[in-house]
Structure 1
Amino acid sequence: MVTLFVIMDPPGIVPIYLALTGTMDKRERNRAALQATLLSLGVISLFALLGQQIISYLHIDLAALQGAGGLLLLLVALQLLTGKADDPNEAATSNIALVPLGTPLLAGPGAIVAVILFVQQAPSSGDYLWIALAIVVIHFLIYLVMRFSGLLVKILRRGGIEVLTRIAGVLLAAIAVQLIADAVMSYVELFESSAGASAW
């Protein structure tokens, strides 16, 4: 549970959540928090149950999943940095509660990979129950953090939200680059290990 908490980082989602929902009223922000949490819970639960089968069926590596998530986050970060996320015409084209908030921010590659590994390494059915409980508790905490982060909106006001949006864009870009770099390094290590094996 601690590992999943660190990966999903409920406090860390606050600045990005506020940046994405800063132009919404209180009711819309609360609805976005609920939708994002439920989507993340559904995605994480799905990969906990069928993650290995899905990856095997599609013939993809976990590193590819990380790279794809990183690219998607990088696009969102660029929108935040350029101010396009504040454009109502841009916001109307998609539901930010689902993408990028629900996935890949909450139900991101790191959380998905961690849950798949937890399930693979669980020695008994009792451990499956603990994993399920951890997933539910973490998402409950995430919802509470987002639900009551609206208090910051009253303090920061419009100008503060705009500054926070740019900061969140930088942080999100850094997370995206890290995901892509990890994916590239995974492939480099795989290539080196296969090259070493063929040399023998």
Structure 2
Amino acid sequence: MATSMDLIKPLVTLVAIVNPLAIVPFFIHYTQGYSDAQRKRTVVVSAFSAFVVIATSALLGLQLLSFFGISIASFQVGGGLLLLLSSLSMLNAQPAEQKSNPEEIRATEVKASMGASIAVVPLTIPLLTGPATMSTVVIYAEKTRHLWELLVLVGYGVVVALATAVAFSLADPIARVLGKTGINIMTRLMGLILAALAVEVMSDGLTKLFPALHGA
């Protein structure tokens, strides 16, 4: 992360993969029957939790990789593949981070119906900031060369949190204006951008693992 484009790329990637607009229908579904105060609290907790996940991944992600003896090149390939799979979900108008099976979805809905907070699970994890988001932050954290660049990456967590808060706060108007078709179009567009970025991350990791590919 050196040039202005290098600094902007992580933000574009994060906004594309988190994509709060795509989670608006889930927010509306899970907060049905909530009072205004409960909805506002859910918005605040979800936004703050998203920031915490991104900031923690940026500050501690590399240390965790080192602890488990995982090279950043291997992580880039794995993370890039995860991003690519997420982008394919988005191209099918599904959230990048989503529940993997019906049992998990039903368990979450039961918790919501019992009055449990859904701000952290499932809205923040995994719908907003799941494994693909964490992988992205760690990969870009490795590219930082100065403390201020790392702080910029953490700051992008604030941007994502604000975007989440705005999207959830305006959930009903957004759903009325865009409709399901509009949200699907936005999700597919973000998915296309994410797919291109995923290929770039994977190629970078592969050239580090197999230097001969660089010459090829």
TM-score for the superposition, normalised by structure 2: 0.61
Is 1:103 matched with 2:130?
yes
Distance 1:60 1:107 in 2: 15
Give the structure 1 partner of residue 139 of structure 2. Answer: 113
Q: Which amino acid aligns with 1:101?
A: L
Work out which of the residue numbers 168, 179, 183 in structure 2 matches 1:165.
183
Matches within 5 A, 1:51-200: 51=65, 54=68, 56=70, 60-75=74-89, 77-78=91-92, 80=94, 90=105, 92=108, 95-104=122-131, 106-109=133-136, 111-118=137-144, 122=145, 127-128=146-147, 130-150=148-168, 152-158=170-176, 160-182=178-200, 185-186=203-204, 187=206, 193=212
- Residue 166 of structure 1: CA displacement? 0.6
Q: Which amino acid aligns with 2:125?
A: L
Distance 1:11 1:191 in 2: 27
Give the structure 2 partner of residue 36 of structure 1. Answer: 50
- Conservation of the 8 A alpha-carbon contact between 2:16 and 2:194: no
Structure 1 gap segments, 5+ residues each? none
TM-score for the superposition, normalised by structure 1: 0.64
Q: Which amino acid aligns with 2:24?
A: T
- Residue 195 of structure 1: CA displacement? 10
> Identity over aligned residues, as a percent?
14
- Conservation of the 8 A alpha-carbon contact between 1:40 and 1:103: no
Distance 1:190 1:59 in 2: 6
Q: Which amino acid aligns with 1:164?
A: G
Equivalenced residue count is 184
Q: What secondary structure does 2:122 align onto?
A: coil
Cα deviation, 1:6-45, whole Å, max 9, x if unaligned, reads 4123994599212213325433343322222211221222
Q: Which amino acid aligns with 2:181?
A: V
Distance 2:194 2:69 in 1: 21
Q: Which amino acid aligns with 1:193?
A: A
Structure 2 gap segments, 5+ residues each? 32-38, 110-120
Q: What secondary structure does 2:48 align onto?
A: helix
- Conservation of the 8 A alpha-carbon contact between 1:70 and 1:180: yes
Distance 1:195 1:156 in 2: 45
Q: What secondary structure does 2:129 align onto?
A: helix
Question: How much is the aligned-residue C-alpha RMSD, in angstroms?
Answer: 4.2
Matches within 5 A, 1:12-51: 12=15, 16-22=19-25, 23=28, 24-25=30-31, 26-27=39-40, 28-51=42-65
Q: Which amino acid aligns with 2:92?
A: L
